Amino acid sequence: MKEPTAIAFIHSLAGLFPNMLLNIFLTFLISFFVFTGTASAATPEELYGFTPASETVHNYTVTDGTTSVQLLDFTGHEKPLPEGYRTDEQYQIALDAWNLEDGGKWARLWPYVPMFSREDVKGFVQAIDEPFQNTNPNPIEVAIPHLARTYEVASALSYILSPYSTDRSYSEPNLSSQWINPAPWENDAWWLGSDESQPGNWDELGPVCDPQQWQISSSGDNAYDSQSNTAVLKTITIDTPPSLREQPLSTPEDCGLKSRQYPCEKCTDSGNVDDSDCFVDQAVRFSPTYFKTFTPFLHAITDRLLTGKNAVFNIFKPFAEVANEDIENWPGVGGEGEPSLAYNFSGGQAEAGNKQDASQAKYYFKYLGTLHCQKERLVAKLQPFLGGVAEIDPQCTGGAPATPTGGQGQPIAGQGCFVFDVGAKDPSKFSRPSVPWETDPAGKANVEMAISLVLKSPTWANLVCGRGPVRLYRVAAIAGGGWARSDQGQIFLYNGGVSNPGTAIYTLAHETGHIVSTRNPTLFTQFMSQGVISRDGGYLRTYPNDKTDFEDFAETAGLYVGVKYYCNPRWCGINYPREYPAHYNFAKEVMFGGLEY
C-alpha cells in the first residue's frame, strides 16, 4: 500500500501550463512514483531537487465537480506507469483497463489530484521590546495559506527552467537583519523614543515609557489576522515645554517658607509653594521596538522566484543585476503624517508607531508584496500569448485596497492609482476650488483615456503609483494644461488640459513626470547624472514656461507619450528622437521600460 505522500504529488495544473511544461511535470510525477511505488533508495530531494514542503499530506477531497473521492481512495487505483511493464503492449493494456475501471471514475478524477501540497503553514509574529518592556510576551501564531504550495511550485519551476548543473543552493536576501523600528518620533518633543525606557524611574521626571503591557489583539481567525494593535498609552506629567513656559514674576512673592516665582505657582496654607499648575499632562504612546514575522519558506520562495541564480522571474537577467535589485518594494508605504498606515517598510526596515492613530498599526510580511506583484507583471506579459486580457492587481501599481485618505474618491480598477476627486483647491495663487468631475463628463472621459495610455508602461505605472494614490482634481478655469502638487500626490487639470484627448494625454504624462521625480528622486538624479540635458544641448523647447531641470524631466515624459497625440502650434511636427536623442532614449529606456507609443 502506498503512503499518502505517494499520491500527493500528482499534477492538477493541466489548465495552468501549456502542454510542453505539462509533459515536463509529468516526468517529475513519474520519477516520484518510481520513488514512492518501488521503495527506491532515492529521496524526494534527489528526485525533485528540493525538499518538499511537508512529508505528510492531508487526505484531500478530490473532485471534478460531480464526483468526489478522498485522496487515500486512490490507493490501488493509481494510473499505471510504463516502467512497471515489460512491453509497450502490456502497458497499453493496463492503461486501457485503468481508463475503464469503475466506469472511468479514476481516470476522470486523476487530473484533479493536487500535484503540490495544499497545506497551510504556521508562522508567528513576535513583538521585540526594549529591556524591561513587555508589550507582548507571547508570539501570535498565524496560519498562512498557499505558501507551502507556492514553495513547491516555485522550486519545481526553478528546477525545470534552469540548467541542472547550476548551483541550487539559495542565499538569504541581503537584508539588514531585522525589521528595525528607527524611533520615528525622535524629533518630536511630544513623543518618546523607544530607547528611553528607564526602569525604576517611571514616576520621576524626564522622558519615560511605561507600556502597560497591552496585548497584540487577535481576530481569532489566524489566517485572516492581519492587524495588530500596538497602542500603549500612558499619561505622564512632565515639565512644561519651553514654548508654554511663563515669564517669572517681576517680584517674587513670599509665601512664608518659600517664595512664589511664577504666576502659575500658588502659596499653600503651610507657607510652601504649590507648583502643580506649572506642569502639563502629556499622553504618550509607545510601540515595541520592532516586529519579527516568522514566515516559513518565504526566503526560499523569494530565492527561487526573484533573487537566486535560478530565479524564475529573472531567468534572462544576469545574476549580478538581480542581486542588486531592491526586493522590498511593497507599494503601500506611508509616512509619519498619514492617519492610517502605521508601518513603513522599505530597505529592509519597518518604521513602527503611528503618531496619529496607533490602533491602526499593521505589519507586513517581507517579500510577499514583491512576489505578488512580480507574479502579476509576469502573468500580464504572458497573457497576450495565452489569450485574454491581462489585469494587474491595482495594488501593484499603487492603488490601495483600503479606503484612500483625505477624500471621497477611490482608485478604480484599470486606472492604477488615479483617483477622480474633488475638494482640494487649486494651489496656484488664485486658489480656485475644484469642481466635481461629473460636471465635465467629456473631460473626464478624455482623462480616463489618457490614464490608460500613460499607464500602459508598467515601468512608468510603478514609478507614478509606487507610493500611493494620485488624486485628480478638475479646476474649471480657462488655463492651459495642469498643475502638480507632487508632495501631496495631487494633479489639478484646467480646461486646456482636458478639452480633447490629445491635450489630456500630453498634460497627464507631463504632470505625472512631476509626481515621479518627487517620489523617485534617484531617477531624477540618474537623468541629471547621465547629462541628458547637456548632451542634447539644452532643455526641450516644447515646454513654454519656466526652464528648469525638473520641468525638463517632466516634459521628457510628457513629450514622449504625447507627441503622437498632441500637436501644439509652437512645436507641431517635432522629430523627438532626432532632435533630442538623449531625452528620447532616456524616456524610452528608463522611464517607460522600452515601451514605444
Partner 1 sequence: MALNISLKKPTKIVAAVLGVLTLIVLILIFVTTPKEQPQPGPTASPVAQLQLSQIPPGTASESDVFAKLGQPLNTQPSGTAANILSYPSYNQYNPNEVTVADGKVSFIRERLYDAPDTSLKSRLRILGEDYAQLYGPDSNSGVILFTYPEKGLAFFANPIGDVIFEVWYFPKGDLEQTLSLPEFADYSTQEYYTEEL
Interface residue list for partner 1 (CB under 8 A): 187, 316-318, 335, 427-429, 431, 479-487, 494, 497, 507, 510-511, 514, 517-522, 524-525, 528-531, 533-535, 543-546, 548-551, 553-554, 558
CB nearer to partner 1: pick between 80 and 332? 332
d(CA 394, CA 409): 15
Nearest approach, Cβ of residue 160 and partner 1 (Å): 15
For residue 200, the Cα-to-chain-centroid distance in whole angstroms is 41
Nearest approach, Cβ of residue 590 and partner 1 (Å): 11
* Region of 353 on the Ramachandran plot (φ > 0 left; ψ -120 to 50 alpha; else beta): left
Q: Give the 3-state DSSP-derived string for 350-368, with helices as H, strands as E and coil as C.
A: EECCCCCCHHHCECCCCCH
Nearest approach, Cβ of residue 232 and partner 1 (Å): 27
d(CA 104, CA 79): 11
Q: What are phi and psi of 53, to 5 degrees?
A: -60, -35
Nearest approach, Cβ of residue 491 and partner 1 (Å): 10
Nearest approach, Cβ of residue 339 and partner 1 (Å): 18
CB nearer to partner 1: pick between 176 and 251? 176
Q: How do beta strands 68-70 and 259-260 pair?
A: unpaired
List CB contacts of 580: < 8 A, sequence separation 6 or more.
536, 540
CB nearer to partner 1: pick between 451 and 559? 559
d(CA 373, CA 375): 5
Q: Nearest-CA neighbor of 560 among 516, 529, 519? A: 516
Nearest approach, Cβ of residue 180 and partner 1 (Å): 17
CB nearer to partner 1: pick between 87 and 324? 324
Using the structure block, give the residue that is written with the C-alpha cell 495663487.
429
Nearest approach, Cβ of residue 547 and partner 1 (Å): 9
CB nearer to partner 1: pick between 82 and 521? 521
Nearest approach, Cβ of residue 525 and partner 1 (Å): 6
CB nearer to partner 1: pick between 263 and 347? 347
In b/e form, how buried is each residue of 132-167, taking b as 16+ CB within 10 angstroms? Answer: ebebbeeebebebeebbbbbbbbbbbbbbebeeeee
d(CA 73, CA 4): 10
Q: Which three cell numbers stand for residue 453?
A: 495610455
CB nearer to partner 1: pick between 145 and 521? 521
CB nearer to partner 1: pick between 247 and 522? 522
CB nearer to partner 1: pick between 236 and 528? 528
Nearest approach, Cβ of residue 351 and partner 1 (Å): 13
Contact call for residues 416 and 455 (beta carbons, < 8 A): yes
Q: How do beta strands 290-294 and 482-485 pair?
A: unpaired
CB nearer to partner 1: pick between 52 and 482? 482
H or E segment to which residue 344 belongs? strand 344-346
CB nearer to partner 1: pick between 436 and 531? 531
Nearest approach, Cβ of residue 426 and partner 1 (Å): 9
Q: Nearest-CA neighbor of 325 among 377, 370, 282, 274? A: 370
CB nearer to partner 1: pick between 5 and 428? 428
Contact call for residues 162 and 310 (beta carbons, < 8 A): yes
d(CA 467, CA 398): 6
Nearest approach, Cβ of residue 440 and partner 1 (Å): 18
d(CA 239, CA 279): 5
The secondary structure of 75-115 as a DSSP string is TT-PPP-GGG-SSHHHHHHHHHHHHHGGGGHHHHHGGGS-S
Nearest approach, Cβ of residue 319 and partner 1 (Å): 9
CB nearer to partner 1: pick between 36 and 542? 542
> Radius of gyration of the chain from Cα atoms?
31
CB nearer to partner 1: pick between 207 and 427? 427
CB nearer to partner 1: pick between 251 and 522? 522
Q: Which three cell numbers stand for residue 296?
A: 516559513
For residue 466, the Cα-to-chain-centroid distance in whole angstroms is 8
Nearest approach, Cβ of residue 418 and partner 1 (Å): 17
H or E segment to which residue 565 belongs? none
Nearest approach, Cβ of residue 219 and partner 1 (Å): 34
Which long-range CB contacts under 8 A does 577-585 form with residues at least 24 apart?
580/536, 580/540, 581/536, 582/530, 582/531, 582/532, 582/533, 582/535, 582/536, 583/532, 583/533, 583/536, 583/540, 583/552, 583/556, 583/559, 584/560
Nearest approach, Cβ of residue 518 and partner 1 (Å): 3
Which long-range CB contacts under 8 A does 421-428 form with residues at least 24 apart?
421/471, 421/472, 421/473, 422/473, 422/474, 423/473, 424/471, 424/473, 424/488, 424/490, 424/492, 426/473, 426/475, 426/477, 426/483, 426/492, 427/483, 427/485, 427/490, 427/492, 428/483
